[in-house]
Amino acid sequence: MYCPKCGKETDTSGQFCQWCGAPIEAAPAVPVVPAAEEVEETPDVGVYAGLGRRFVAFIVDFILIVIFGIIAVAFFNQVNGIMYLYYIVALHAPIASLTTAGTPAAALTPIVAALGLFVVVVPWLYYAGFESSRGQATPGKVLMRLEVTDLEGNRLSFARATLRFFGKFISLIIIFIGFIMIGLTKKRQGLHDKIAGTIVLLQD
């Protein structure tokens, strides 16, 4: 400790400076500030939905998507594409024999159009439309009392819901690992949820 009068270092055990005799005041105790508890990056927005409920919701949604897909394929007159695909895969028919034109393009174009509607367009509009709606859930999720939100519990935009949907294709490509992540992560997020910054919650 240093004397406040002469500035020389003095013995802290005494009450007076050993050099000039000036009184030495004890240094005030420094308050100990408790370490702040770690705060999560995002607020607690509810109970995260597990893999079981989400799988049941997926089954319900899958059945509805198949029904809507069949209607869309019929409406846009792409039934031939489904028939051609059946003939090629199941009956091993030559592509050239499927159309009057007898060319691969004449047969493959309806197949691509039908699969695009059935596998991409209908599921995309179904999931992105329902999950960005006021209900924030597909019919399957509504049945299982689930809702999809961003990390703060807010309603998704159509763009974010679209990103979440197409992220599922990545989860699918890597041997379903992206879906298995739902049961392993703290917030029950699949890879598509991580990509889009979304969570699935149990409704109150």
pLDDT digits (tens, 9 = 90+) for 166-183: 999 998 888 789 999 999
Q: Where do we find the tokens 């069949």?
A: 70
DSSP result, 75-116: HTT-HHHHHHHHHHHTS---GGGSSSS--HHHHHHHHHHHHI
Q: How confident is the model at residue 27 (pLDDT cuts 50, 70, 90)?
A: very low
Handedness of CA 181, 182, 184, 187 (dihedral sign): positive
Output the pLDDT for position 29. Answer: 47
Cα distance between residue 66 and residue 190, in whole Å: 23
The 8 Å CB, 24+ separation contacts for 103-109 are 108/84, 109/81
Token output for 192: 């598509």
| Between 13 and 204, the higher pLDDT residue | 204
pLDDT digits (tens, 9 = 90+) for 56-70: 999 999 999 999 999
Whether the full predicted model's pTM is greater than 0.85, yes or no, is: no
Query: Across all residues in the chain, what is the average pLDDT?
Result: 85
How many other CB atoms are found less than 10 A from the CB of residue 188?
20
Q: Per-residue pLDDT averaged across 101-117, rounded?
A: 85
